[in-house]
């Protein structure tokens, strides 16, 4: 099925965060796109009802909020001094960003209105195209890079359209070398060698956000959970999570 792309006028762009949400600890999440072409099989976003799209079609559609930057300008009084998670329900640097540059336009607006904290969250090396802009946020910025496994064959099974592990390694190295605070998002932990994963990323990241495979009700590849049942076995899996948490302090602290 061809990727369905629709331009929409969004009503709002800064979504207030509730305690207990995926990005609690933040005042707002910011999603310039709805939908995500990276199509991770475990993605939790399809669990939220959507009037226009079936959850089974996740990864096959994107809505482009073409007025995203204007909405930030309109709500600029909310931005000052706030903590913003960018993005919680899409990848702000999925490849459609090359066409629309919505994430870049939103960053240009945010910079004018001085948020207290800005966390970018992505799987994509495209963020490097905005590195000079991002550096202007200084100590207020951190970047979370998804790094759920050390094994690119596993990545390709669970995240078929997302950038390779090699690309992500280059990405965390480049961000770290640019002096940008970067953490690893190991969420969910996918089959891997925990020792290799830690050895691979620790030179570049000091902290991590580690989480387990959740939202089984919307998982689109239960066959993979079966295939790697030994790895996901509750006790075994929990031990690996604990080992990771010991090796890499939490990015939430
Ligand atoms: S990149 Fe994030 S939002 Fe996109 S499909 Fe993967 S988990 Fe979902």
CATH number reported for the structural domain that contains residue 203 in this entry: 3.20.20
Rounded (10°) angle between helices 165-177 and 194-201: 40
Q: How far is the CA of 247 from the centre of ligand 1 (A)?
A: 25
Decide whether any atom of ligand 1 lies within 6 Å of the 27 Cβ: no
Q: How far is the CA of 62 from the centre of ligand 1 (A)?
A: 12
Q: How far is the CA of 159 from the centre of ligand 1 (A)?
A: 8
Q: What span, in angstroms and rounded, lies between the C-alpha atoms of 79 and 54?
A: 33
**77 occurs within a structural domain:** yes
**124 occurs within a structural domain:** yes
Check residue 20 and give its pLDDT: 59
**13 occurs within a structural domain:** yes
Check residue 51 and give its pLDDT: 85
Decide whether any atom of ligand 1 lies within 6 Å of the 38 Cβ: yes
Instruction: Indicate which atom in ligand 1 lies nearest the CA of residue 89.
Output: 3
**253 occurs within a structural domain:** no
Number of domains the chain is built from: 1
**170 occurs within a structural domain:** yes
Taking the chain (253 residues) in runs of 10, the rounded mean pLDDT of each run is 93 87 82 97 91 90 98 97 96 98 98 97 98 97 98 98 98 97 97 97 95 92 96 96 93 69
Check residue 22 and give its pLDDT: 59
Average pLDDT over all residues of the chain: 95
**252 occurs within a structural domain:** no
Decide whether any atom of ligand 1 lies within 6 Å of the 36 Cβ: yes
With a pLDDT cut of 70, the percent of the chain lying above it is 96
For residue 109, the enclosing domain spans 4-247
**135 occurs within a structural domain:** yes
Q: How far is the CA of 59 from the centre of ligand 1 (A)?
A: 8
Check residue 253 and give its pLDDT: 60
Q: How far is the CA of 194 from the centre of ligand 1 (A)?
A: 22
- 8 Å CB contact between 72 and 194: no
Instruction: Indicate which atom in ligand 1 lies nearest the CA of residue 122.
Output: 1
**121 occurs within a structural domain:** yes
């Amino acid at each position: 099925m061809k990727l369905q792309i629709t331009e929409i006028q969004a009503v709002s762009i800064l979504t207030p965060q509730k305690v207990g949400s995926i990005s609690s600890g933040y005042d707002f999440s910011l999603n310039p796109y709805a939908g995500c072409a990276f199509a991770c099989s475990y993605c939790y976003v399809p669990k939220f009802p959507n009037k226009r799209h079936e959850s089974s079609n996740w990864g096959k559609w994107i809505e482009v909020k073409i007025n995203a930057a204007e909405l930030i300008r309109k709500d600029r009084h909310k931005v000052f001094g706030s903590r913003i998670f960018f993005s919680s329900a899409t990848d702000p640097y999925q490849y459609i960003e090359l066409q629309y540059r919505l994430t870049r336009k939103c960053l240009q607006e945010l910079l004018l209105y001085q948020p207290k904290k800005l966390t970018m969250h992505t799987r994509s090396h495209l963020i490097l195209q905005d590195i000079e802009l991002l550096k202007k946020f200084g100590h207020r910025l951190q970047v979370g890079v998804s790094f759920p496994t050390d094994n690119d064959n596993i990545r390709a099974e669970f995240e078929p359209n997302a950038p390779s592990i090699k690309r992500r390694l280059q990405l965390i190295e480049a961000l770290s070398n640019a002096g940008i605070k970067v953490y690893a998002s190991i969420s969910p932990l996918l089959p891997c060698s925990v020792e290799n994963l830690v050895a691979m990323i620790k030179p570049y990241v000091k902290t991590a956000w580690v989480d387990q495979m959740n939202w089984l009700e919307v998982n689109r590849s239960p066959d993979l959970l079966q295939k790697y049942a030994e790895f996901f076995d509750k006790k075994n899996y929990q031990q690996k999570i604990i080992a990771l948490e010991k090796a890499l302090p939490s990015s939430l602290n």
